[in-house]
Structure 1
Amino acid sequence: MLIPLTHERMTVQRLPWVTIGIIAMNFVVFAFTWPTAQRDETRSADAWEELITHTEAYPGVWEDDCTRCPGRAEFDALRERFEAVASEHIFFRYGYVPGKPTLRGLFGSLFLHASWAHLLWNMYFLWLYGCSIEDLWGRPLYAVVYLTGGVAAALAQGAYEPDTLGPLVGASGAISALTGVFLIRCWDTRIRFFWMFIVLFGTFQAPAWIMLGFWLTKELFNAFVYADVSSVAFWAHIGGFVFGAVVASVLKLTRVEENILAPALERKTNLLGRHPEAARAVELMEDGDYSTATRALKSAIQQAPKDSDSYRLLAQCYQARGRPEEATRWLRQELKLHAGTTSSWPRPIKSWSTPPLSSH
């Protein structure tokens, strides 16, 4: 037995609100649907038991050429009842049924789970890999990849068994997509695993490219050997994983993450340590509203006089407004804070001419 415990990229710069929201939504949906699913499961099991009991009493009654056999009418009635009861099951109504696909089922299946173990296991892996991807790619793109990855996983399973009427439920396909992203984006990250063999157990570390590659190989083996006899949607896992890996590869090769995502996230994470008024001022400065930004920064300085960042930003504002003397005065105040003194500097500081919001 192998269970991943943690990895080197678990520390994030911002709270992973999207991951937290998805996990919370799954628990809420499960709390509301679990009693209904249990009731529907009991009704379906009872109807199936009646059908099986009847076929045991009348062997061969299910054959197509046995239309006039004794018990055939009762068999047809019991089969119709079972199909009606099964079609009312909440998993058939809101899960993805490849033989009867619906848009509601494609997305609804991502938030339905068959048991507590199913739910907890999926949410554990979502937390393990999702937080890092959300931190690296940002919340909007992460949410899109999660949802589209889940849809791609369901379609992959449907492509393997297009006529099946068994419902597909669970978030594992979407989580597999995140795992594929993790393999490409964090390929050298070391993951710590717990292992147990009979009575022996321990932990070890291994890079993501080895362990996730091993997991994909295992899923492929299971898909080719056990897919027809197992209730696990192996092809959904594989399809989601490949989708995530392809998306991550495209973003990497086109340098979208490097040129667009990373700079945007850098600006947002820099705001976290600033006074709220200073953070608002940065947004105003990006919009070119330097007058309002000036007032916001002065308010920030009054409330947090030791925040040197606000002084520097205020200097930028005055420089952008064509008032270099004011910019110099506020820059001098910032330097005093860094020097830890309130005395006058021995020599004047030249007018500051760095462009607003330039890198520093």
Structure 2
Amino acid sequence: MSDRPAFPGVPHRQPVFNVPGAVAVIALGLVMIHAARVLLLSEDGDIEVLTYFAFIPARYTLPDSMFYLPGGLGPKLWTVVSYALLHANWMHLIVNLVWLLAFGTPVARRFGSLRFALFCAVTAAAGAGAHYLAYPDALAPLIGASAAVSGTMAAAVRFAFAPGGALSSRRSLFADHQPAGSLIENFRDGRVLVFVGAWFALNLLFAFGMSMPGVEDASIAWQAHVGGFLAGLLLFALFDPVPRRRVA
């Protein structure tokens, strides 16, 4: 019997640490950025960081003469992604890290490091876009990796319930590399509908004012969550390197 992997690029043996390198690097980067803000910057210095790297909708809508937001064109380009690297406090960061490790891990294994990093950037940008549509004149900064994490949740559900997937009745040895069905096929699966329904129900609670532990003094940008999640669902196939499952 051959011990060769069933899918190209899948390692023969499971690594000692099951977190993919891309997820580990992103998680470590988020921790280091927040630690630097908390330990090294003054309050004024941290506010300056927010003006350069947080997503602020008013930057794109209101005349520059109405407020002070430094940086010119640059922040208009990079803040649609860089805001995801900043967090309100340690609890906000920890919550996002837990979900990133849970859902980003299978997606990163499937996509590979480069695709995964690009996918996170695209879903973060989609979250910023959804937030902008909801609050085009807002001066309050949007920060946090929640939109990108929501994107990984959506991507994971596209293949986790597939035959042989991690949440299927018969999990395969290479569960994260099983062929996924189309979006239409996914939504014919009651388990997918339950997961997606529960996810939207939770965010509906956020819309009605429910807060998370540690961030009670800040509003939750649920629109950004929805933007990232929908982008993850709809754009999954553009990033997926595994051939689509054939349906007889």
By the TM > 0.5 criterion, same fold? yes
Relative contact order, higher structure (CA 8 A, sep 6+): 2
1:335-350 aligned within 5 A: none
Q: Which residue pairs with 1:213 in the alignment? A: 197
Q: Structure 1, residues 253-287: CA drift from partner, whole Å, max 9, x if none?
A: xxx6217xxxxxxxxxxxxxxxxxxxxxxxxxxxx
TM-score (norm 2): 0.65
Instruction: Mark the CA change 1:251 to 1:112 in structure 2 (over 3 Å): closer, same or farther.
Output: closer
SS at match of 2:87: coil
Q: Is the contact made by 2:85 and 2:144 (CA closer than 8 Å) also made in structure 1?
A: yes
Distance 1:38 1:213 in 2: 42
Q: Structure 1, residues 84-131: CA drift from partner, whole Å, max 9, x if none?
A: xx9x54323310001114123222211101100011110111000011
Residue 248 of structure 1: how far off its partner (Å): 2.0
Q: Which residue pairs with 2:242 in the alignment? A: 257
1:31 has 2:35 as partner = yes
1:303-322 aligned within 5 A: none
Task: Determine which structure has the larger strand proportion and give its number.
Answer: 1
Q: Which residue pairs with 1:17 in the alignment? A: 21
> What amino acid sits opposite 1:242 in the alignment?
L
Instruction: Mark the CA change 1:97 to 1:249 in structure 2 (over 3 Å): closer, same or farther.
Output: same
Q: Which residue pairs with 2:111 in the alignment? A: 137
Aligned CA RMSD, in angstroms, stands at: 3.0
TM-score (norm 1): 0.46
Q: Is the contact made by 1:97 and 1:167 (CA closer than 8 Å) also made in structure 2?
A: yes
Residue 33 of structure 1: how far off its partner (Å): 1.3
Q: Which runs of 5+ in 1 are unaligned?
A: 1-11, 42-85, 192-205, 260-360
> What amino acid sits opposite 1:32 in the alignment?
A
Residue 212 of structure 1: how far off its partner (Å): 3.9
Match of 1:244 among 232, 236, 242: 232
- The structure number with the bigger radius of gyration is 1
1:93 has 2:81 as partner = no
1:231 has 2:225 as partner = no
Q: Is the contact made by 1:36 and 1:90 (CA closer than 8 Å) also made in structure 2?
A: no
Instruction: Mark the CA change 1:207 to 1:34 in structure 2 (over 3 Å): closer, same or farther.
Output: farther
Q: Which residue pairs with 1:177 in the alignment? A: 151
Q: Which residue pairs with 2:129 in the alignment? A: 155
Q: Structure 1, residues 163-182: CA drift from partner, whole Å, max 9, x if none?
A: 00000001011100111111
> What amino acid sits opposite 1:16 in the alignment?
P
Q: Is the contact made by 2:56 and 2:141 (CA closer than 8 Å) also made in structure 1?
A: yes
Task: Determine which structure has the larger helix proportion and give its number.
Answer: 1
Instruction: Mark the CA change 1:209 to 1:99 in structure 2 (over 3 Å): closer, same or farther.
Output: same
Residue 31 of structure 1: how far off its partner (Å): 1.1
